[in-house]
């Protein structure tokens, strides 16, 4: 007898308890609520041979972008390979994607997820994993187009439609289609106000277009929907902090950092990235953050020799640079130099963008601002290759402008500030950069 999930994608096996558990886990994952891993582990306890349960579990560890997740990913891949002789084509696609990622072939993973979706456009599980991998690899076009590929196979009256529109909204935003992105995100939220990814997409639109007041009102008015029990809430709080930073309300930025962005120690890579990124912006602007850097740098210490994902390495370098941990910073760079000699996906990314960027951040931390400009200016336009969003990678431009100002390269600083003002004409931060460059002030404004 043929078995299908609730969206019509075929499964080779699974008892009633296991398939119901997969649906519960996926429902949580669609909204980024806690805890899909616990749900899928319960499902697998009910049916240890449930292939799609192992495939879903593998995907969760795959998209974590952490070396610490590799043993669990490997265990799930091993289970899938044991069950592979009875798997169907869709399931074998999930296995091929997970195996590729485990082997360091990140681009192979997205190719296999993409082929799976093309052949089975009702596979919303593969689609959501693919969306996250596209994000990790900085593939902005596919954040938009991979969703567009399958939308004709869905209808507006289906529960998944809203989530598809939320993902499409983010892809549209990353490609600069801001009005369309806002409309798609709004449609998603009209269907499901608790869709944290659709909230995230709309927050990005406000960030990239300089609609600071609208962004604050939007996030604060909806916080009861997207924040409670949500594993992604820290990132939407981060966006709110960026709006307040733009306004110059540093007290509110620090309050959000302490209560929502980094309220307690964590070893989760994505949460550490946001904590380090917000503190680095404060560091660039010369604000005293007390001892907040110490907990972030401490969390990065066990990862200094991971060399797993260059985007994470950059944030570790920033934490060590800001805290004067020269030895730890050098260890990260040495690990990246070794990894760059390999031939897997992260090695290529590290060679092309990761190492130059991390060396630039290290130079800034050492006060060698001219060297920062020298290293960062040529690579910033290809930085999308190591993942993240435009808003996250904006930290490179902030660093570049500040380094140009502090090294007395006011021509560069004016050029970069004007570039920023063309995107956000009313931005107080950009106007401040331009004023400092025009007046020839290398030192921080009082």
Q: Where are the domains of the chain?
A: 1-136, 139-229, 262-446
The pLDDT value given to residue 43: 98
Residue whose token pair is 């808003």? 391
- The DSSP bridge pattern shows strands 10-11 and 3-4 to be antiparallel
Is the pLDDT assigned to residue 252 strictly greater than 90? yes
Q: Would you state the structure tokens that stand for residue 73, as one six-digit string?
A: 């990913």
CA 262 to chain centre: 16
The pLDDT value given to residue 443: 46
Per-residue pLDDT band at 440 (split at 50, 70, 90): confident
DSSP state of 263: S
Alpha carbons 27 and 38: distance in angstroms, whole number: 13
pLDDT tens-digit series, residues 287-327: 999 999 999 999 999 999 999 999 999 999 999 999 999 99
Q: Where are the beta strands (DSSP E) in 340-419?
A: none
Mean pLDDT within 217-240: 96
Alpha carbons 295 and 280: distance in angstroms, whole number: 14
Minimal CA–CA distance to 211: which of 181, 241, 243, 182? 243
SS3 labels along 283-328? HHCCCCCCCHHHHHHHHHHHHCCCCCCHHHHHHHHHHHHHCCCHHH
Q: Give Cβ neighbours of residue 217 (< 8 Å, ≥ 6 apart).
A: none
Per-residue pLDDT band at 1 (split at 50, 70, 90): low
**Strand pairing partners for 230?**
33
Query: Candidates 2.60.120, 1.10.8, 1.25.40, 3.30.450; correct CATH number of 262-446?
Result: 1.25.40
Minimal CA–CA distance to 339: which of 376, 318, 362, 310? 310
- CATH architecture type of domain 1-136: Alpha Horseshoe (1.25)
Question: Positive or negative, the Cα torsion across 94, 97, 100, 102?
Answer: negative
What percentage of the chain has pLDDT greater than the value 70?
A: 98
Alpha carbons 375 and 363: distance in angstroms, whole number: 9
Is the pLDDT assigned to residue 379 strictly greater than 80? yes
Q: Is 177 exposed, middle or buried (0-12, 13-18, 19+ CB in 10 A)?
A: middle
Is the pLDDT assigned to residue 404 strictly greater than 70? yes
DSSP state of 194: T
* Total-model pTM: 0.95
CATH code, residues 139-229: 1.25.40.10
pLDDT tens-digit series, residues 97-136: 999 999 999 999 999 999 999 999 999 999 999 999 999 9
Number of helices (H), then strands (E), belonging to the chain: the values are 24, 2
Q: Would you state the structure tokens that stand for residue 104, as one six-digit string?
A: 């360091």
The pLDDT value given to residue 445: 40
Mean pLDDT within 198-210: 97
Residue whose token pair is 């296995």? 95
Q: Give Cβ neighbours of residue 358 (< 8 Å, ≥ 6 apart).
A: 310, 313, 314, 317, 332, 333, 336
Cis status of the peptide bond prior to 35, with omega within 30 of 0 = yes
Do 139-229 and 262-446 agree at the fold level?
A: yes
Alpha carbons 284 and 208: distance in angstroms, whole number: 20
What are the Cα distances from residue 99, in Å, to 19, 22, 50, 200, 324? Answer: 23, 21, 18, 30, 39
- Mean pLDDT in the chain? 96
CB 233 within 8 A of CB 222: no
Is the pLDDT assigned to residue 282 strictly greater than 90? yes
pLDDT tens-digit series, residues 205-224: 999 999 999 999 999 999 99
Is the pLDDT assigned to residue 446 strictly greater than 70? no
- DSSP state letters, 116-162: HHHH-TT-HHHHHHHHHHHHHTT-HHHHHHHHHHHGGGS-TTSTTHH
Question: Positive or negative, the Cα torsion across 221, 204, 296, 74?
Answer: positive
Minimal CA–CA distance to 64: which of 205, 258, 272? 272
Residue whose token pair is 């269907």? 191
CB 210 within 8 A of CB 423: yes
What percentage of the chain has pLDDT greater than the value 90?
A: 97
What are the Cα distances from residue 391, in Å, to 200, 263, 345, 365, 446? Answer: 11, 22, 23, 22, 27
Q: Would you state the structure tokens that stand for residue 76, as one six-digit string?
A: 């799930």
Q: How many CB atoms lie within 10 A of CB 137?
A: 22
258-282: string of b/e by CB count within 10 Å (b at 16+)?
A: eebbbeeeeeebbbbbbbbbbbbbb
Alpha carbons 174 and 141: distance in angstroms, whole number: 8
The pLDDT value given to residue 441: 55
pLDDT tens-digit series, residues 325-346: 999 999 999 999 999 999 999 9
Alpha carbons 188 and 198: distance in angstroms, whole number: 6
The pLDDT value given to residue 105: 97
Alpha carbons 41 and 259: distance in angstroms, whole number: 31
């Amino acid at each position: 007898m043929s078995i299908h999930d609730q969206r019509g994608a075929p499964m080779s096996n699974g008892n009633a308890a296991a398939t119901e558990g997969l649906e519960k886990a996926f429902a949580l994952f669609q909204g980024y609520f806690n805890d899909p891993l616990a749900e899928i582990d319960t499902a697998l306890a009910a049916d240890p041979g449930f292939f799609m349960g192992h495939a879903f579990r593998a995907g969760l560890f795959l998209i974590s972008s952490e070396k610490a997740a590799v043993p669990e990913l490997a265990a799930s891949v091993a289970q899938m390979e044991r069950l592979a002789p009875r798997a169907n084509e869709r399931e074998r696609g999930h296995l091929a994607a997970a195996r590729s990622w485990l082997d360091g072939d990140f681009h192979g993973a997205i190719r296999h997820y993409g082929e799976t979706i093309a052949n089975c456009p009702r596979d919303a599980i593969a689609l959501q994993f693919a969306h996250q991998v596209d994000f990790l690899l900085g593939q902005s076009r596919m954040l938009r187009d991979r969703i567009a590929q399958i939308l004709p196979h869905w209808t507006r009256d289906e529960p998944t439609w809203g989530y598809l529109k939320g993902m499409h909204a983010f892809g549209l935003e990353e490609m600069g289609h801001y009005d369309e992105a806002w409309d798609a995100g709004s449609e998603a939220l009209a269907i499901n106000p608790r869709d944290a990814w659709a909230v995230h997409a709309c927050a990005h639109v406000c960030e990239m277009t300089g609609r600071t007041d609208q962004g604050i009102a939007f996030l604060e008015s909806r916080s009861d929907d997207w924040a409670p029990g949500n594993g992604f809430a820290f990132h939407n709080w981060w966006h709110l902090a960026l709006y307040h930073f733009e306004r110059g309300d540093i007290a509110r930025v620090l309050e959000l950092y302490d209560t929502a962005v980094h309220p307690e120690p964590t070893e989760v890579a994505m949460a550490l990235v946001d904590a380090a990124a917000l503190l680095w912006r404060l560091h660039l602007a010369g604000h005293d953050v007390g001892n907040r850097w110490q907990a972030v740098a401490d969390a990065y210490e066990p990862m200094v020799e991971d060399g797993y994902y260059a985007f994470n390495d950059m944030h570790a370098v920033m934490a060590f640079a800001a805290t004067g941990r020269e030895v730890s910073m050098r260890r990260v760079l040495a690990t990246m130099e070794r990894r760059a000699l390999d031939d897997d996906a992260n090695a290529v990314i590290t060679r092309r963008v990761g190492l130059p960027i991390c060396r630039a951040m290290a130079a800034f931390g050492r006060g060698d601002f001219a060297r920062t400009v020298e290293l960062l200016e040529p690579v910033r336009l290809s930085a999308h290759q190591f993942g993240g969003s435009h808003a996250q990678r904006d930290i490179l431009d902030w660093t570049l402008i500040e380094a140009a100002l502090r090294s007395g390269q006011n021509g560069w600083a004016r050029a970069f500030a004007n570039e920023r003002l063309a995107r956000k004409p009313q931005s107080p931060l950009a106007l401040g950069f331009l004023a400092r460059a025009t007046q020839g002030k290398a030192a921080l404004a009082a």
